[in-house]
Structure formats: structure tokens, C-alpha cells
Amino acid sequence: MPLIKVDNLRKTYYLKRHQIEAVKGVSFEIQEGEIFGLLGPNGAGKTTTIGMLTTRVGITSGEALIGGVSVKQKVAVKRAIAVVPQMLTLDRSLTARENLIFHAKYFGVGKDEREQKADELLGWLNLSDRQDDFISSFSGGMSQRLMIARALMHKPKVLFLDEATTGLDPQSRRLLWDKIRELHSLGQTIFLTTHYMDEADTLCDRVAIMDEGKVLAIDKPHNLKKLVKDKEEPTLEDVFIQLTGKGLRE
């Protein structure tokens, strides 16, 4: 049984004078322990799709299940997932460690477990020596690592990384890649979106390419590359451009 099952998911925004079909019947499944990448140009419907899966965007029609639970059951789904977005959403009024501890408290993690988990994650993400600092002094890479640590505090079934490496320097990005691979080896299911094709290629077991609200292709990266016939060693970016075109998206 897949951990995530998305069936003919649609989202239409009804505005005053017109309506926008942001997602037009998307279906896919993600197995437990898989790293799944959702790629697409700006306005493709990625953010709306991830928004529906993470309970923040209402579904117009179709269904999405996480661990067999409909995403319409918000509280139950929120217990099963964690989201690391591109933007910094850490609690600026708390120290790094307090960010983790309070997050775990929100999820009802017991005292001993949350203290131990915080120690473990702060060490794993090279943040132990800054744990008592407020995050205003943190670099982008440190903040992003702390957001991953926070997300893992309640042991989510699915970790959503929504363009989580955008804007980071190459060293920070590579460090996060290593951590994502480590999580993968431990069986963590990861759903990621990114604009970096090399990132999707190196990390993802399978990739879906989306545009104009539809999934255009979904497969393992090396299988997708076979779609490009006019290059000897095509990259995932070549596949992406072939499927979504070269036109600029605003």
C-alpha cells in the first residue's frame, strides 16, 4: 500500500470575474521510504499540490491520502507530516534548542524523548554549539538545517522539503543533500520540490514533472532521460525543457 496516494486531485480558485484551474486532475503514488521529486516551472501547480497535501490548500475535487488518512482530516495528517519550506519560519523569540523542544511539545513528545531527540538532531546537523543562540544570528544554511531538525522532532512519516535548498551556498546545499541521503537510508519518506535539476537527479528515486496543472511525466530520473532523443547524455534539465518548453514563466 502506498504511503501517499493522490487520485485525480483538482484545485480551482474562484475569483470575482474568472476562475483559475491551478491543478487539473493530478494522480500519483509514493511508496514508503521513497524520495519523490515534484518538478515544474513557476505557476505549474506544484505549490498548490503540495499545499493540498500539507492541509493548507482546500481540495476542489479528487482525493489525497497520507498513510491511509484523507488530507481533509487536517489534524491527523499534520501529525503524520512535517514541512520544511524555503522561507524561514523558525520562532525568532526562542533559542535554537527551544525551537526544537517547543515543536516537540506541540506534538506531545514526552520530556525525556524530546530532550534526547534535540541533542541527537542538533549534533547530527552540526548545530550543538549554537543551540542556545537566538536564530537571528544564524546564516541561511544554519536556519535551514535547524528547520530540518525541527521537522524531524516528531518523527513524521513524510518529510516535505518545499524548495528547501533554494538560496543556499553550494556547501550548505551539499551538506543538506548528505543529510537527506542519510534520512533516506534510514527509511524516511521524502517529498521534495526543487528548481535545481541536479538536485532532483541525484536525490530522487522518482520524479514527476508538472506543468499547467498536469503531471506530464513521472518515472525514475534515468528513465525520464530516455525521452530526450537528440542528445547523447541528456540531463534531467533537458527532459524538463523538452516537456515544459523554453517559454519564460512569470
Partner 1 sequence: MQTFLALIERDIRVLRRDFLDFATRIIVQPFLFVFVFGYVLPGIGQVKPGYVNLLLPGILAASMMMAGVQGTAIPLSTEFGYTKEIEDRLMSPISTPALIAQKITMGTLQAWIAAALVFPIAWLIMRNNLHISISSFPLLFVFILLVGLASAGWGLALGTIIDPFKLPIMFATMVIPAIFLGATYYPWKALAKIKWLQELILINPMVYASEGFRSVITPQIPHIPWFLSVLGLLAGIVFLTYLGVRGFLKRAYS
Report the interface residues with partner 1, using CB under 8 A: 13, 51, 54-58, 74-76, 78-79, 81-83, 85, 87-94, 98, 102-103, 105-108, 150
Q: Which is nearer to partner 1, 79 or 214 (CB)?
A: 79
| C-alpha dihedral, 173 to 178 to 184 to 189, nearest 10° | -20
d(CA 83, CA 8): 23
Supply the minimum distance, in Å, between the C-beta of residue 198 and partner 1: 28
| C-alpha dihedral, 6 to 2 to 185 to 121, nearest 10° | 60
Supply the minimum distance, in Å, between the C-beta of residue 103 and partner 1: 7
Neighbours of 103 (CB within 10 A): 23
Supply the minimum distance, in Å, between the C-beta of residue 24 and partner 1: 17
Q: Which is nearer to partner 1, 74 or 220 (CB)?
A: 74
Supply the minimum distance, in Å, between the C-beta of residue 233 and partner 1: 40
Neighbours of 212 (CB within 10 A): 16
Cell numbers placing 181: 541521503
Instruction: Tell me the chain's radius of gyration from C-alpha atoms.
Output: 19
Q: Which is nearer to partner 1, 122 or 147 (CB)?
A: 147
Asked if 103 and 154 count as a contact pair (C-beta separation under 8 A), the reply is yes
Supply the minimum distance, in Å, between the C-beta of residue 69 and partner 1: 12
Cell numbers placing 42: 513557476
Handedness of CA 190, 191, 196, 198 (dihedral sign): positive
Q: Which is nearer to partner 1, 156 or 221 (CB)?
A: 156
Q: Which is nearer to partner 1, 1 or 75 (CB)?
A: 75
Q: Which is nearer to partner 1, 76 or 241 (CB)?
A: 76
HEC string for 109-166: CCHHHHHHHHHHHHHHCCCHHHCCCEHHHCCHHHHHHHHHHHHHCCCCCEEEEECCCC
Supply the minimum distance, in Å, between the C-beta of residue 104 and partner 1: 9
Question: Alpha carbon of 128 to those of 125, 132, 138, 179: distances in Å?
Answer: 8, 9, 13, 16
Supply the minimum distance, in Å, between the C-beta of residue 37 and partner 1: 21
Q: Which is nearer to partner 1, 163 or 201 (CB)?
A: 163
